[in-house]
């Protein structure tokens, strides 16, 4: 946890402009954007992967979807469309082991993903 880049951002140890914050989540722009809008929604609690979500924390996922919709509207990608993805473990493409969702929009998304 001490070396976790997202924990450092949440603690304010790495200067990062927050687009959203509440008691459960923060959101900020990805440092290496893969789309014109690329925002990360990150849980305040250090939970390594989506596999570690326990029953008592299920509500957190619904909350993330609500906040993502709000950020999509604010960033004018709600009507054109967006993708909300969470990568899990190596083959899922996860590189930071602290739960986060990518909100991507502003261009056409491929399906299937690469």
- Catalytic residue numbers, as ranges: 100
Binding mask 45-74 for Zn ion (x = CB under 5 A): -x----------------------------
Mapping DSSP onto H, E and C, the string for 17-68 reads: CEEEECCCEEEEECCCCCCCEEEEEEECCCCCCHHHCCHHHHHHHHHHHHHH
Tell me the closest approach of the beta carbon of residue 106 to ligand 5GP, in angstroms: 15
Tokens 């739960």 sit on residue: 99
For ligand 5GP, the binding residues (CB under 6 A) are: 5, 14, 16, 28-32, 40, 87, 93-96
């Amino acid at each position: 946890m001490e070396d976790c880049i997202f924990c450092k951002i949440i603690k304010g140890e790495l200067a990062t402009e927050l687009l959203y914050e509440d008691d459960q989540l923060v959101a900020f722009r990805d440092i290496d954007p893969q789309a014109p809008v690329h925002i990360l929604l990150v849980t305040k609690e250090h939970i390594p992967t989506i596999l570690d979500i326990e029953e008592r924390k299920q509500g957190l996922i619904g909350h993330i979807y609500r906040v993502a919709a709000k950020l999509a509207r604010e960033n004018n990608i709600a009507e054109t469309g967006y993708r909300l993805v969470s990568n899990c473990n190596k083959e899922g493409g996860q590189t930071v082991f602290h739960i986060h969702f990518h909100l991507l929009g502003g261009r056409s998304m491929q399906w299937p993903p690469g």
